[in-house]
Copies of this chain bind each other. A is one copy, B any other.
Amino acid sequence: MRHIRSLPLLAALTLMTVQAPLSTLAHAAAPRAVEYKLDNGMMVVVIPDHRAPVVQHMVWYRVGASDEVRGKSGIAHFLEHLMFKGTEKLGPGQFSKIIARNGGQDNAFTGNDSTTYFQSVAKDRLPLVMDMEADRMANLKLDVKQVETERSVILEERRSRVENDPGSQLDEQMRAAMYQNHPYHTPIIGWFHEMQKLTREDAFVFYRRYYAPNNAILVVAGDVEPEDVLKLAKSTYGKLPANPATLRAERPTEPPAVVGRRIQMQDARAGQPTLVRHYLAPCYAKAAPREAEALDLLLKVLAGGSTSRMYKALVVDQKVATSLDGGYSGEALDSGRIALFGVAADGVKLSDLETAMDKVIGDVVAKGVTAKELELARNQYIASYVYESDGIGALARRYGWGLVNGQSINDIEDWPNRLKSVTAEDVKMVAEKYLNSKASVTGWLEPPADPAKKS
């Protein structure tokens, strides 16, 4: 609703940097989720966690911005907003008000591949939440005036998040340049001129096609017993009919990468000159065995945080950057990406920062990583996997993201073991394969050279 999941640069890069006591590592591979399937095809996943008497309830629809038809960009996200406008039973805005009145919180987010609604509530309120969420899965009611008003809201959201944020504009431009054929090139929030034309009917067409129990995954984490959740699910979601017409159109795939692309943006609102480099990479669900895990480890060694090679080289030793980060994002249905991000130190030209960055990249491609680096990166990841610093919210999201993007519960829970099996050779191989300049986009963002001249 108010959040939009657009894989923003820094959010993606700072994921999982929490350190954890290594003593918790022993639990790493213990399976914890239980999976059911309702008769109408809805998947139900329960992750018992009794640390506190609360639950996180999430419904993940297997549909996102990349399923929109041409010319209707933004409809997935617009519908997500409109899902708070009421049903036959509930008036506009009542959904969130009732959750709040019951001491809970709720929100939603839209991604390229999925749309998610979630609530955190005291465990005794779970039946209420499931009843309301099942209700709006089938009985959405929209009045034309509310649709008009909400369209102003999403347009304003775009203005403030994209048009008024040069970093976000650069990211949007880089994504458009990276994907030449796949709909990931279109912004999740939509192109402004298309958002302006979205109608109530557009929202309903999308809703009727994709919002159905057989296209949804229910994830409940917290102080619950799996069988109790199953019973509740049967008496709420289980009563809704499946929609046999729910079928994602096949998405076009990318042609082979031919040449890197560059975007050099000058904007008076830009702060220190900033360099961003993206490389196309596979996603978890489509990568060859151990490739995605090796990419996680590679990026941790290369650019993840202040102990990384690139941070040490550019920020500490050469002092050409004041900030440096990087990571691999593999949670997607069709494609992932590697991102590197550096802010130039005072007086340093972006071309020089780029040369320095490319030198560190060239080195890891040529020589790979050391056994010690690999071990350190692995332990950092496994620790943060186990530590669950964000509690049941993070836990539910992990399962939801994985499942909605084509992984199985076993894939998700086995991740630490797969990380352990990655060798230094695997890491070198993915460095050679994916730190490929032909499949890259390089972005520069800086203020105009002459301060009197507006960009």
Contact = CB atoms under 8 A, between A and B. Distances in A.
Interface of A: 70-71, 73, 169-170, 172-173, 176-177, 180-181, 183, 185-186, 191-194, 249-253, 255-256, 258-265
A164 B146 CA distance: 55
A181 B177 contact: no
Contacts of A186: 181
B262 A263 contact: yes
A148 to B, nearest CB: 22
Contact of A263 (B170, B176, B251, B259): B259
Contact of A258 (B169, B185, B250): B169
B261 A177 contact: yes
A264 B261 CA distance: 7
Given A173-B258, A258-B173, A71 B252 contact: yes
Contacts of A70: 70, 183, 249, 251-252
Contacts of A253: 193-194
A219 to B, nearest CB: 31
Contacts of A183: 70
A262 B259 contact: no
B169 A180 contact: no
A70 B184 CA distance: 13
A167 to B, nearest CB: 12
A185 B180 contact: yes
B259 A265 contact: yes
Nearest to A179: B176
Nearest to A267: B259
Contact of A192 (B170, B193, B255): B255
A23 to B, nearest CB: 49
Contacts of A192: 255-256
Contacts of A177: 177, 261
B250 A71 contact: yes
Nearest to A265: B259
Contacts of A172: 258
Q: State the number of copies, please.
A: 2
A43 to B, nearest CB: 27
Nearest to A442: B262
A366 to B, nearest CB: 14
Contacts of A262: 261-264
A177 B180 CA distance: 8
Nearest to A252: B71
> Nearest 5 A-B pairs (CB), nearest first?
A262-B262, A71-B252, A191-B255, A259-B265, A176-B180
B260 A193 contact: no
A173 B259 contact: yes
Contacts of A250: 71
Given A70-B183, A169-B258, A172-B258, 13 more contacts: A71-B250, A170-B259, A177-B261, A181-B186, A181-B194, A192-B255, A193-B256, A194-B252, A258-B265, A259-B264, A261-B263, A262-B263, A262-B264
Contacts of A185: 180
A177 B173 CA distance: 10
Contacts of A255: 191-193
Contacts of A265: 258-259
A194 B251 CA distance: 11
B258 A264 contact: no
28 contacts: A70-B183, A71-B251, A73-B181, A73-B252, A169-B258, A169-B259, A170-B259, A173-B258, A173-B259, A173-B261, A176-B180, A177-B177, A180-B185, A181-B194, A191-B255, A192-B255, A192-B256, A194-B253, A258-B265, A259-B264, A259-B265, A260-B263, A260-B264, A261-B261, A261-B262, A262-B262, A262-B263, A262-B264
A118 B261 CA distance: 39
Contacts of A264: 259-260, 262
A58 to B, nearest CB: 30
Most chain B beta carbons < 10 A, residue from A70, A169, A193: A70
